[in-house]
Structure 1
Amino acid sequence: MRRHLLAASAALLLTAGAATSATADSPAGQSARPAAASVEVPAGVSAGVAVFDRQTGTFTEQLNSGTRFRSASVVKVLLALDYLWNRGPDYTVPPADRAWLEPMLRSSDDDAADAYWSDHGGTAIITRMVSRLALKDTAVPPTGYEGFWGYTALSARDTVTIYRYLLDSAPAPVRDLVMGNLRQSTRCASDRFDQHFGVAGAFEKPWAVKQGWAGSSYEKGTCGPPRTATATTTDTTGPAPAAVADVDLTRPALHSTGTVGAGDRSIVAVFTLHPVGTSYGKAYTDIGRLTRSLNVPGATRPAGWWYGTWSDHVNVRPDPGTGNAPISQLPAGVEVLVGCQARGEEVSVPPYTNEWWAYLPQYKGWISNIYINSPDNKMPDVKDC
């Protein structure tokens, strides 16, 4: 039976803002789009963007690059740099410190950031790093919220400055430790949010990323195999006060920063705010579309077709069937890259059934086509596996 949803059913089943059409992306190995194109910002999204080509020493993209956003977990790069600043000539990091430093950078561990913030002066950390790196827009959290490191103000252009310091000026042990961990960014963050959006989803490796997310409307993280333990609700690092000065602390935020290409050729900083009430899957989809529109020298686009999905907690399976335990779950209604499709176990979501499965190369797993927003059981433009 065709699983094309009638309009009435779609209104009930599709998550808000889920994409309903697919687009073929550039084939593997094709360079990023021409520099003449402009940043494509999805409707309702506010963005600050900067892309810096280290080979030419020029920006290929700048949009509101000096606008301040609450940093969320992107500030953890500054926490790591503050820790490493005066480690001595060999920059030795004791095993006990690696035990918190590495999860903070790779998996965005909040407990590690909380402990470092409280033990090393809180806002003084930001004041020190602003002075050391000559940052223009970075500022401490607002009065009354000094304990919340995620409310540190940060801009896209200051983020480029931070990465340029890391890559071009920092002592080799500092560069290797920080960038080495960002290259090992885990798909599942410590709070079980899928953090491979933006840069990590738009481009093939090599990349190194530090992401950030904050929003009371984001559902609980469900990344990785299902489990019964209660997950933290979000990476907000505190309650959401009213906007302070020029920094919006109310709308859900999703940020993607890092480097792309051989030799860390391009530095990319994408900061986004989304309408109040936006789901994580919707924000994830929108920052992905924005990032894929950028001119990023040295980047390679993944091969495949982008399709929207519907339903909550769609299981990603190791093969096209339900016999084995899931390897992960998708954010609700997120857009995914489909590499190919194959027949497998028939899945039923009454009154619909479907025997076709989509292979998601970025998850190294499969989902039933019944959860793909396509008019037919088999996607018309996707190749067979």
Structure 2
Amino acid sequence: MRRRLLAAAVALLLTGGAAGSAAADAPAGQPVRPAAASVEVPSGVSAGVAVFDRENGTFTEQLNSGTRFRSASVVKLLLALDHLWNLGPDHTVPTADRAWLEPMLRSSDDDAADTYWSENGGTAIITRMVSRLGLQDTAPPPAGYEDYWGYTALSARDTVTIYRYLLDSAPGPVRDFVMGNLRQSTRCASDGFDQHFGVAGAFGKPWAVKQGWAGSSYEKGTCGPPRAAAATRTAGPVAAADVDLTRPALHSTGTVGAHDRSIVAVFTLHPVGTSYGKAYTDIGRLTRSLNVPGAARPAGWWYGTWSERVNVRTDPSTGTSPITRLPAGVEVLVGCQARGEEVHVPPYTNDWWAYLPQYDGWISNIYINSPDNKMPDVRDC
């Protein structure tokens, strides 16, 4: 049974099959990628962006790069660097610290951040790191919120400075430890959020990322098994000074390309009530618009999805356990499509499946925003 929902057709027009409009002379059945453009900020989104090309020593993108955002989990970079600042002469990271730092850097573990924040002086950590790295916009959480490490103020240009210190000035063992863990960023964060948005979704490896998110409207546990909401110190009810603490935040930072050629920092705020999938999609579109030297852009067609917690499976059937689950309504990169098990979601039926290369898994086309069972522009696997 073919899907004929008007909403699906409209969604296809909005999200598009390929990333951008097709050129008239493009080969049939091939994805089309637009030329690199200046920052394209989706409607309703506030953004601060900086892209630094380390090879040429220049910024290729800057948009509101000095604007302060609440850092959310991006501040964990500073927590880690502060804790490792006074290591012994060989700068070896102790095994006991690895047990805390690795999940904090790879999976954005909040318990580790709480521990380092309380044991190392809280706001004094930020004050120390501002002085040590010469940060221009970074500031501790506002008065009354000293325990909320995620309320630390941070800008895109300061984030570039942090990564430049890590790559060019930090002791070798510290650099290798921190960057090595960021290269092993897990798709599912410790709190169950899918954290491979922005840089991790827009570009092929090699990349290293530290992401951040905070928003009361974000659904809990967007990937992996369903999880109970965990207590966190990264969200609160009010705004203070020039840092917006109210709107949902989603940030993507890291390095892209061989030898960490480009440093990318993307900070975004979204309208109150925005779902995680919508914010995930919007920061993805923004990041894909950036001029990032050395970046590899994955081939495929970007499509929107519908329904909540759609299962991604190892083959085009429901007989295997899910690899993960998609954030509700997120846009995904489709590599190809193939016939598989027939899926029924009344009143719809579909036996076509989409292969998602960034997940190395499959979802039923029944959850793709397309007017037909088979996507019209996507090649067969």
Q: What range is the shorter-chain TM-score in?
A: over 0.9
Give the letter aligned to residue 315 of structure 1: N
C-alpha separation between the residues in 2 aligned to 1:24 and 1:283? 17
Superposition RMSD in Å = 2.2
C-alpha separation between the residues in 1 aligned to 2:203 and 2:233? 29
Cα deviation, residue 89, structure 1: 1.0
Contact (CA 8 Å) 1:33, 1:294: kept in 2 or not?
A: no
Change (3 A) 1:274 1:142: same
Q: Show the counterpart of 1:107.
A: 107
- Listed as ranges, the gaps of 5+ residues in structure 2 are none
Q: Show the counterpart of 2:312.
A: 316
The answer to whether 1:240 aligns with 2:241 is no
TM-score (norm 1): 0.93
Aligned length in residues: 373
Give the letter aligned to residue 283 of structure 1: A
Q: Which has the higher contact order (CA 8 A, sep 6+)?
A: 1
Give the letter aligned to residue 259 of structure 1: T
Superposed CA deviations along residues 252-277 of structure 1, whole A, max 9, x for unmatched, are: 00000000000000000000000000
C-alpha separation between the residues in 1 aligned to 2:235 and 2:293? 38
Q: Show the counterpart of 2:287.
A: 291
Contact (CA 8 Å) 2:53, 2:293: kept in 1 or not?
A: yes
Query: Which of residues 302, 316, 321 is equivalent to 1:325?
Result: 321
Change (3 A) 1:66 1:84: same
Change (3 A) 1:38 1:24: closer
Q: How does 1:172-321 map to 2 (within 5 A)?
A: 172-224=172-224, 226-227=225-226, 229-232=227-230, 237-321=233-317
The answer to whether 1:21 aligns with 2:19 is no
Query: Which of residues 354, 359, 362 is equivalent to 1:358?
Result: 354
Contact (CA 8 Å) 1:48, 1:65: kept in 2 or not?
A: yes
Cα deviation, residue 72, structure 1: 0.2
Give the letter aligned to residue 256 of structure 1: S
Q: Which segment is superposed worse, 214-223 or 332-341?
A: 214-223
SS in 2 for 1:23: coil
Superposed CA deviations along residues 150-169 of structure 1, whole A, max 9, x for unmatched, are: 00000000000000001111
C-alpha separation between the residues in 2 aligned to 1:237 and 1:369? 38
Contact (CA 8 Å) 1:51, 1:62: kept in 2 or not?
A: yes
Contact (CA 8 Å) 1:222, 1:331: kept in 2 or not?
A: yes
Superposed CA deviations along residues 187-224 of structure 1, whole A, max 9, x for unmatched, are: 00000100000000000000000000000000012312
C-alpha separation between the residues in 2 aligned to 1:31 and 1:175? 34
Give the letter aligned to residue 49 of structure 2: V
Cα deviation, residue 20, structure 1: 4.3
Percent identity (aligned): 83
- Listed as ranges, the gaps of 5+ residues in structure 1 are none
C-alpha separation between the residues in 2 aligned to 1:326 and 1:31? 30
SS in 2 for 1:312: coil
SS in 1 for 2:342: strand
Q: Show the counterpart of 2:338.
A: 342
Cα deviation, residue 231, structure 1: 4.4
C-alpha separation between the residues in 1 aligned to 2:84 and 2:367? 46
C-alpha separation between the residues in 2 aligned to 1:6 and 1:68? 41
Give the letter aligned to residue 89 of structure 1: P
Q: Show the counterpart of 1:148.
A: 148
SS in 2 for 1:268: strand
Give the letter aligned to residue 159 of structure 2: T
Q: Show the counterpart of 2:128.
A: 128
Q: Show the counterpart of 1:160.
A: 160
Superposed CA deviations along residues 66-111 of structure 1, whole A, max 9, x for unmatched, are: 0000000000000000011110211122212110100000000000
Contact (CA 8 Å) 1:33, 1:295: kept in 2 or not?
A: no
C-alpha separation between the residues in 2 aligned to 1:285 and 1:262? 26
Cα deviation, residue 24, structure 1: 3.8
Q: Show the counterpart of 2:62.
A: 62
Give the letter aligned to residue 367 of structure 1: I
Contact (CA 8 Å) 1:138, 1:158: kept in 2 or not?
A: yes
Give the letter aligned to residue 222 of structure 2: T
Give the letter aligned to residue 17 of structure 2: A
Change (3 A) 1:161 1:18: farther
